[in-house]
A and B are shown apart, each in its own frame.
Chain A
Amino acid sequence: MMPLFRIGVTVVLALIAGMACGDDRVEFDREIRPILSENCFHCHGPDESRRKAGLRLDVSNTFDRKSFIERISAEAGDERMPPLESGKNLTPKQRNLLLRWIEQGAEYQPFWAFTPLIQPPLPDLIANTPPTNNAIDWFVQAKLDQRGWNLANQATKFRLLRRVKFDLIGLPPTPDEVDNFLRDESEDAYERVVDRLLASPQYGERMAIDWLDAARYADTNGYQVDRNRELWAWRDWVIDAFNANMSFDQFTIEQLAGDLLPNATLSQQIATGFHRNHMLNEEGGIIDEEFLAEYTADRVETTASVWLGQTFQCARCHDHKFDPFTQRDFYSMKAFFHNVSERGVGIYANPIRRNAPPFVQLSTPELDSKVASLKKKRDEATRELDDYTSTAKKEWKPDLSDEQKQAEQKSLESQPRFVELTAAVAKCKKEVQAAEDEIPTTLIMSESKPRKTYILDRGAYDKLGDEVTANTPAILPPMSDALPRNRLGLAYWLVSNENPLTARVTVNRFWQQLFGSGLVRTSEDFGTQGELPSHPELLAWLSVRFRESGWDVKQLMRLIVTSHTYRQQSSATQAMHDMDLDNRTLARGPRHRLMAELIRDQTLAVSGLLSQKIGGPSVRPYHPTGLYEQVTAGNGYNVYVQGKGDELFRRSMYTYWKRSVPHPAMLAFDAPFREFCSVRRSRSNTALQALNLMNDPTYVEAARFVAARMWNEGGSCIEERIRFGFKLLLSREPSEPELQVMVAAYNRAKDDFSKDQTAATELLSVGENKRELGIDAIELAAMTTLATTFMNLDEFISK
C-alpha cells in the first residue's frame, strides 16, 4: 500500500506548498513554465514545423491575453485548451496559477539552466547556524529554515565511515579501520579518513563506474552479432585520470578530442575511445550510411546528455518539442563527429579478430621483442627456402620451354626438402601472426577527409536536407572565433566559462553519486521538462566553485563529503519519511541500496577473496551455465568460458560486459544494458535480487570464507565471533537483540548440521576456491549460514 500512500502524501504536501505562497507573486520558472511545457509547448513551443496558429508560448509574452484566458478557461468544445484529444488537462489549481500569472503581467524568466552561471552569495540564516563553515550546509539550512527544520545530527561514526568508504572507494571498512576510527577522537579524524580515501588507487575505480554508464562502455559491439571488442584500455585510462585528479576540463578535452591535441600522446589517443563506445553493427544486409548515421547520432546524444544535460535525441527527427533546440542544431553538432575514419558496417580489420578501425595497438617491450624474434625466424626460413629454390633452378637447362619449366617446377615442389622448407615458412608465419594478435588494441577516434553533413529528414539516413557545418546549438553562447570547428573546438567550448551547463550538469552528477539523487533529480534532463533544482543557489554556488577551482574533482568530492549535510544521520521518524520521502530537503543523510557492482565487491572484500588488481582485460567470473547459448547464436565468441583463479574475484567493474546478455546479477541490481548513454540508474527492490544473493555461487562461496574469518579472527567463543561478524560485515557492534538472534541461529544450525553432516560438507563445497580452512565442517557450515544471513540483510547491501 505504500506507493499509494506516498502519492497521497505528496499531493497534500503540494497543496500545503501552494497555500504557503498563495498571496505572493507567481514564480514563472517554478510554477508556470512546467505547466506550459507540459500542456502547451507541444504545439506552441520551439518546434516550428508543428507550431499551431503561429502562437509561441515558450519565449515571448506577446500573445493575446484575453484569448489565452478564454481558451484555458473553456471546459469543452473547440475553444478548450489544451484540446481534449491531446489527452492533456489543466487542473483547477494550474488554471488558477496561469490566471494569476496573467494578472500579474505574464512575465517570463529565461530558463534557469541556460542563464549565465553566477555564484550567489551565502544565504542569511534566520534561526540556526550550521555546525560547520561549509557553504553547502548554509544553503541547505536556509532551505530547512523555510520549514522550521534543522539539519540532523551527525551519523554515528561507524555508519559515517561505511558511507564515505562506499562513496569514495566502493568498499566497506575493515574491522581495524572501524576500531581505529572509533578510537581516534581528534577533531580532524574524519577529514583524514577522507584524504586517505581520495588518495587510494581504488578511488579511481569507484569514480569510474558511473562514468562507464555514461560512456556506454561494454566489451562487445551490441546488435545482433555482438562480437567482442577491445576498449578496456580506455576504461583503465578513466580510472587513472580520476586517480591522478585530472581536471574535469582536461578530462573532457582528452576524451572528446585527445587525438587532435598537438603532439597527441598515446594516452590522449586512448582517451578518445570515449566516443567509440557506441554499438557497432555487423549484421549482414545493413547499409553503411544507415549505421554511420546511428553512430554519429549516438555521439551527439551522448555528448548532449553528459555535458549539457539535454535530451537531444528529440531533435534528431524534428525540432525539439519542449526545449529550444532545432533539428539544425542536432546535425550541426553531428558534423563534429562525422569525420572519423570508420565504416558503418563494423567489419573488423584484417586479421578478423579484434577491433573495427580506427584503433591503436598497445604493445609492450616483451611482446615487441617476441614478434621481432619470430619475424627473424620467419625471414630465415624464407631465405632458406629461397636459397634452396634458386640453387635448384640454377641446375635447370638454360633454354627450357615454358612447358618444360613448369614440369621442372613441379618436380622441384615435390622434393621432400622443398616441402619441408615450405611447411617451415608457413609455420613461422602463423607464429608471427599469433604473436601479433597477442598485442592488445583499443578503439580510438581519428579524423579522415571531412564528410558532408546534412539535416536528415525525419532522421532517415537517406533523406538528405540542407547541408550544415559543425556548430554548437544556437540558443547557447556561441563558440569563440578562435576555436577550430572540430571536436577539439567543441571540447574547449564545452568547458569554456561561457557555457552555462557543463559545470551545473557535472556537479549535479557527482552530487547524485553521493546522495543517491541529484539536486536536479532528472540528471539526464536539464530542460524544461526536467525537474527544477531542489537547491538552485547551492547548485549554482557549487558549480562556479568547481569551475573556478580549475575543475578539481577531488576538491569537489572532499567539499561535499566533509559537509555536515553529507554527514547527517540517515535515520528518521516515520513522520519525517512521510513529509519528505525522497529527502529532497536534505534534512537527513543519504541511505540507499548499493549499486550492482558494489554489492558483489564488498562481499568479495569481506571474505578476503577480492583481488586488488586494477585494470586490464575484462574477466569472466561465475555465470549461470548455458545463458549465452540460449540467447545468442551460440557460435565461438558467444560461449562463456569462466575465468580462473583471481579472475573470479576481481572487482565487478571488470566483469565482461556482453551487451546482448549482460551478467544477470548486474541486470538484477539495475545496471543498464550499456547500449546507450545512461547517467542515472533506477534502484529497484526485487525477489530476483534476493535469489541472487542467496544462491549465486559467488555469495555461497564468499560466505564460507567470511565464516572462516569470523571463526579465526573473531575470538574464542561464539558470541565474540558473531560480534566480529557484525563488525566485519556491518561495520558496527550488534545490539543485544541482534546478538541473541544470531547466537540462537548458530546453535540451531550447528545442531541441525550435526545431524546431517553430508549437508554440511555439500554446503562447503561450492565455488572454485578449495582452500582448506582447517575448521570443523559442522561448525563452519553453521557459521556459513550465519554469514549468509548477514549478507542478505538490507543493511549489508545499503550504505
Chain B
Amino acid sequence: MTNNTIQRNSGTLPHRLLRRQWIGSIALASLLTPRLFAQSSGAIAPRAKRVIWLTQAGAPSQLDLFDYKPGLATQFDKDLPDSVRGQQRLTGMTSGQKRFPVAPSLFSFQQHGQSGMWLSELLPYTAKFADDLCLIKTLHTEAINHDPAMTLLQTGHSFGGRPSFGAWVSYGLGSENADLPTFVVMISRPSGPTNAQPLHERMWGSGFLPTKYQGVRFSSGKDPVLYLSNPPGMTLDRRRAMLNDVASLNQLAYSELQDPEIQARIEQYELAFRMQSAVPELADLSHERASVFDRYGPESKKPGTYAANCILARRLAERGVRFIQLYHRGWDQHNDLPKGIRSQCYDTDQPTAALLGELKERGMLEDTLVIWGGEFGRTVYSQGVLTPNNYGRDHHPRCYSIWMAGAGVRGGTVFGETDDFSYNIVRDPVHIHDLNATALHLLGVDHTRLVHRFQGRDYRLTDVHGQVVKEILL
C-alpha cells in the first residue's frame, strides 16, 4: 500500500492487515470483510476458524486445580522461604501479614488419559478430556490487581483504550455469518455466595478500532442483545413493513445526495432485522434435547448460567460466529477457598466438558480454539488464617495455569514447569503476549502484522512483544 493510503485510513478504517493468509471461503470473506484477505506470501495455515474463550474471572487457583505439588503436604503452615518469594510485590490484602504460611491444596490429584495429566479432583468432567488439553502451567503477567490484569489479558495492555482480542479478530478476519455479530460476549455470575469481581465493558471493547468490532453482549431474558426485541404491539410483520418504508425513503435520499453512508445505513437496518430473527432462534434452547441438558448439568436449564452459556457457545460456533467469549465470575477466593472453589467448579466443570464433548462429536473441535483461564494465579501461602481445612489465597502474577484445546493445539501436553511452591517459573515461561500471539497464529494471523495506526503509531494486540509458543502446536 502507498503511504498515502495508510494515512487516509488512519483512525477510521482498518488499513494494514493486508496479509491475511487464510484462503478459505474467499467468496464469503470478500462479501463480509472485503479489506481483510490478501496475498498469501509467507502464509500461516489457519487451524482455527473460531475461538471460544472461557474466561474465569477473579483468578482460579492453579494450586488447587492444575499445578500438582505433592511436596507441599509436608510444608503445611511452614513459612514460605524468603528465597522463593524474592522481591515479589504483595497486594495490599496481604502486605500487612506477619507470616506467609504455606497452604497445601486440600484436594487430591490423579493422572488422567493416556497422557497421564495430573488434574485435581475438582475437575472430574474436564479430566475426561485430558488428552485434548494443552495445559500451560507457566503463564505469567505483570498485573497484580483484577482490573489491570483482566484488561491486560484481554487487550494486551493493562490500562484501557486498546482493542480487545475479540475486536482484533473481528477486525482482522470478519464474520462468517451475515445475521449475527462477529464477536459475542456472555457473562455469568457464580451460583455460590462468593465475591464476583466486577468486569468492565472495555474488556470486550474495540478500543481505537471502529465501534463495529466491539463485542456484542448476549444476556438472558427478553433481550439477548440490547434493544433487540420490538416494542409491544410491533410484530415482526409490522417491523418489516416499516423497514421497507425506511429503505424506500433512504433510497430516495441516496439518489439525491449520493452519500455512500446512506447505502451502508440501509444495509445495517437489514442486518438488524435479520438479527431480530436470528438471535432469538439462537437463544431459544427449547428445541435442545433433554440429553443435552443432562450433559451440561443441572444449571444448564437456568438461563444466564455458565452452563446455559456453554450451550449457547456451541450454538454460536455452529452458526459461524468468530469469537465467542464467556466470562464466569467468582474465582477470587481470598478466604474460604475450599468452599468457594468447589462451588465454582460445580458451576463450570461439567458444562465446560460438555462443550468440549459436543464440539468434538460434531467435528468442530478441529477448527475451534477453546481457551480456559483467568487473569492471574493465586499464592501458595494462605491469606488470613490457615487451618487444616481452610485457607485463602491472594493474587499471584508470577505463574499460573490455563489450558487450550482444539484447532491445532497439541492435546495431552503440559507445557512449562514451576518451582515446588508454584511460585516461580522454572522452565518455559509463557507471557500473555505469547499466549495471544499463539492464538492468533492458530487463526492464521501473524500477530506482528495485525496492526492498526492510531495516534501516529501502529498498534497490535501483542504490543511490541509476543512469541508464538511453537512447542504446543501440532
Contact = CB atoms under 8 A, between A and B. Distances in A.
A630 B243 CA distance: 32
Contacts of A531: 7, 10
Contacts of B212: 684-686
Given A10-B5, A574-B258, A661-B201, A682 B210 contact: yes
Given A11-B4, A522-B11, A633-B198, A571 B256 contact: yes
A638 B228 CA distance: 24
Contact of A34 (B7, B159, B257, B260): B7
30 contacts: A7-B9, A11-B1, A14-B4, A34-B7, A285-B95, A576-B258, A577-B258, A591-B259, A593-B261, A633-B196, A667-B211, A673-B202, A673-B205, A684-B210, A685-B212, A687-B181, A694-B227, A694-B239, A694-B272, A695-B228, A696-B227, A700-B231, A745-B241, A758-B233, A759-B234, A761-B233, A765-B232, A765-B233, A781-B233, A792-B246
Interface string A415-456: 000000000000000000000000000000000000000000
A208 to B, nearest CB: 23
A147 interface: no
Interface string B220-235: 0101011111111111
Given A631-B201, A675-B161, A792-B246, A670 B35 contact: no
Contacts of B211: 667-668, 670, 682, 684, 686
Contacts of B257: 570-572, 591
A529 interface: yes
B226 A691 contact: yes
B456 A793 contact: no
Interface string B428-471: 00000000000000000000110001011100000000000000
7 shortest interchain CB distances as A-B pairs: A529-B456, A763-B233, A285-B91, A762-B233, A690-B272, A762-B232, A285-B92
B231 A697 contact: yes
Contacts of A296: none
Given A2-B263, A781-B233, A660 B258 contact: no
Contacts of A286: 91-92, 145
Interface string B92-125: 1101000000000000000000000000000000
Contacts of A102: none
B456 A690 contact: no
Nearest to B93: A285
Given A577-B259, A675-B160, A694-B272, A685 B265 contact: yes
B42 to A, nearest CB: 11
A691 B275 contact: yes
Given A7-B1, A685-B264, A798-B261, 13 more contacts: A87-B448, A93-B2, A224-B200, A311-B455, A522-B455, A634-B196, A668-B226, A673-B205, A682-B12, A689-B268, A691-B226, A749-B238, A765-B233
B232 A530 contact: no
Nearest to A760: B233
A668 B241 CA distance: 25
Interface string A106-122: 00000000000000000
A794 B229 contact: no
A283 interface: yes
Nearest to B18: A7
A2 B269 contact: no
Nearest to A288: B92
Contact of A695 (B229, B263, B264): B229
A79 interface: no
A393 interface: no
Contacts of A10: 4-5, 8
Nearest to A680: B11
B71 to A, nearest CB: 29
B13 interface: yes
A737 interface: yes
B426 interface: no
Contacts of B448: 87
Interface string B377-409: 000000000000000000100000000000000
Contacts of A789: 242, 245-246, 249
Given A87-B449, A691-B225, A582 B8 contact: yes
A321 interface: yes
Given A11-B4, A624-B223, A322 B231 contact: no
Interface string A655-687: 000011110100110100101100010111111
A519 to B, nearest CB: 14
B250 interface: yes
B199 to A, nearest CB: 5
Interface residues of A, number: 121
Contacts of A581: 260
A18 to B, nearest CB: 9
B216 interface: yes
Interface of A: 1-4, 6-7, 10-11, 13-14, 17, 34-35, 38, 87, 91, 93-94, 223-226, 281, 283-287, 294, 311, 313-314, 321-323, 521-522, 524-525, 527-531, 570-574, 576-577, 581-582, 591-593, 624-627, 630-634, 638, 659-662, 664, 667-668, 670, 673, 675-676, 680, 682-692, 694-697, 700, 735, 737-738, 741-742, 745, 748-749, 752, 758-766, 781, 785, 788-789, 792-795, 798
Interface of B: 1-13, 34-35, 89, 91-93, 95, 144-147, 159-161, 181, 187, 189, 196-202, 205, 210-212, 214, 216-217, 219, 221, 223, 225-235, 238-239, 241-243, 245-246, 248-250, 252-253, 256-266, 268-269, 271-272, 275-276, 395, 448-449, 453, 455-457
Contacts of A632: 198-199
Nearest to A664: B226
B151 to A, nearest CB: 10
Given A577-B260, A694-B227, A795-B253, A4 B35 contact: yes
Contacts of A87: 448-449
Given A11-B4, A626-B219, A690-B272, A785 B457 contact: no
B3 A528 contact: no
A691 B147 contact: no
B144 A285 contact: yes
Most buried by B among A522, A572, A680: A522
Nearest to B451: A87
Contact of A35 (B3, B160, B241): B3
B183 to A, nearest CB: 12
A330 to B, nearest CB: 15
A215 to B, nearest CB: 16
Nearest to B223: A624
B3 A38 contact: yes
B252 A738 contact: yes
A763 B181 CA distance: 28
A692 B258 contact: no
Contacts of B449: 87
Contacts of A591: 257, 259
A274 B457 CA distance: 27
Given A14-B4, A675-B160, A792-B246, A224 B227 contact: no
A694 B230 CA distance: 7
Contacts of A626: 219, 221
Nearest to A689: B268
Contacts of A798: 261
B198 A660 contact: yes
A676 B160 contact: yes
B349 to A, nearest CB: 23
Nearest to A529: B456
A759 B234 CA distance: 7
Contacts of A281: 147
Contacts of A226: 198, 200
Nearest to A635: B198
A285 B145 contact: yes
Nearest to B256: A571
Contacts of A759: 232-235, 238
A692 B227 contact: yes
B260 A763 contact: no
A285 B198 CA distance: 15
